A = this chain, B = another copy of it.
Amino acid sequence: MDSNNRAPVYYSEYLQLDKILEAQAPESEKEGIVANDEMLFIITHQTYELWFKQILHELNIVRNIFKQRNVPDNSPDIFNANSRLKRIIKILELLVAQISILETMTPLDFLDFRDLLRPASGFQSIQFKIMEALLGLEFHNRYGQEYYISQLHPKDIESVKNAESEISLIVLINSWLERMPFANDQKYWGGHGKDFWHHYRAEYAGGLMPTEQANLEAFDKLFMNPESYPEGRRLSQLAMKNALFIMLYRDFPLLHLPFELLDRLLEIDEQLSLWRQRHIHMVQRAIGKRVGTGGSSGAAYLKAAAESHMIFKEIAELNSFLIPRSKLPKLPELLQKDLSFDR
């Protein structure tokens, strides 16, 4: 580029403020009603949607990184993915905080225009549903699917369906985890690859209190027996083993960033969950527990979603199966070398 020959850029044109700042048309105004808080309602939701667009932008960059057949260790790819996930988390934190602005609107003020908006509702945010789908939420795990769809225009349903048919982040993460050779490769473990897991299992069992024995069964199902690995999980047994390995040996340079990556996925789930919790409070504060309105289904929906829409919960489970650093099996020298810098 030769930036000297470009036409000068002007702030308001660059940001297309003519479009952005002319896009508020309160229903109350159309009806000749004074409802001074409707503007807040509109603008708050518009900023939400702008941030959702940004999250989708970042999420697609991250997904593209993991769509590579192989994510090279010596590229900045994981570093870059982590930065973008961190940015998504920062945005989600802001969106949670932003609810407190909408909460400055009291229920009585909301009543001035609430009925005029029927049946519009935050349910109808397509970008939010696309975001959930691209992270990994599957249609059959969505709470209240039918109700949900009944509220949407056909083209919007199609957009969500399209997103659901794309390869989601959790599927990509599963593949990436499966490709990691460290915990299982013959190259490192010779005939005794199996030994790592038996050794580890023994240490894990030794650290359990008498009341905690049920955890050993869970451990065996998840990590020791291919046959008993539960159906319907998003991460394969191999991926789970490698994710646990990353958590345990994160102190080796090559695993620093993969560890952070897993941690950030958990934070995304946490922020989404908090966002739903805060949302429930806001809805209940705005309309109480009124029966039969969009709102009441809203709170029930958000509550169910806060529990069932946790995308990365299988990664969160892994924290049950850690042992103290001092008990960790020592790794073979060749593996130690391969987890390190070439110096």
Contact = CB atoms under 8 A, between A and B. Distances in A.
A211 interface: yes
A338 to B, nearest CB: 6
A202 interface: no
A51 B57 contact: no
A19 B18 CA distance: 10
A300 interface: no
A273 interface: yes
A157 interface: no
A256 B257 contact: yes
Given A11-B125, A53-B21, A209-B292, A322 B73 contact: no
Interface in A189-242: 207, 209, 211-215, 218
Contacts of A36: 57, 61
A54 B21 CA distance: 10
Contacts of A11: 45, 120-125
A150 interface: no
Contacts of A284: 316, 319
B342 A291 contact: no
Interface size class of A (residues with CB under 8 A): 35 or more
Contacts of A211: 292-293
A47 B278 CA distance: 21
A98 interface: yes
A179 interface: no
Contact of A108 (B123, B250, B253): B250
Interface stretch (A24-32, A160-168, A170-178): A24-32
Nearest to A211: B292
Interface string A100-126: 110010111001100111111111111
Interface in A265-301: 266, 270, 273-274, 277-278, 281, 284-293
A53 B57 contact: no
18 contacts: A1-B116, A8-B119, A9-B118, A15-B49, A19-B20, A73-B341, A74-B253, A94-B101, A111-B324, A209-B293, A212-B292, A254-B343, A273-B277, A285-B319, A286-B319, A288-B318, A338-B343, A341-B341
Interface of A: 1, 3, 6, 8-12, 14-17, 19-25, 27, 31, 33, 36, 39-40, 42-43, 45-47, 49-51, 53-54, 57, 61, 73-76, 79, 83, 86-87, 90-91, 94, 97-98, 100-101, 104, 106-108, 111-112, 115-127, 153, 156, 207, 209, 211-215, 218, 247-248, 250-254, 256-257, 263, 266, 270, 273-274, 277-278, 281, 284-293, 316-326, 337-338, 340-343
List of 7 A-B pairs having minimum Cβ-Cβ separation, nearest first = A288-B320, A288-B319, A11-B124, A342-B342, A76-B251, A16-B23, A211-B292
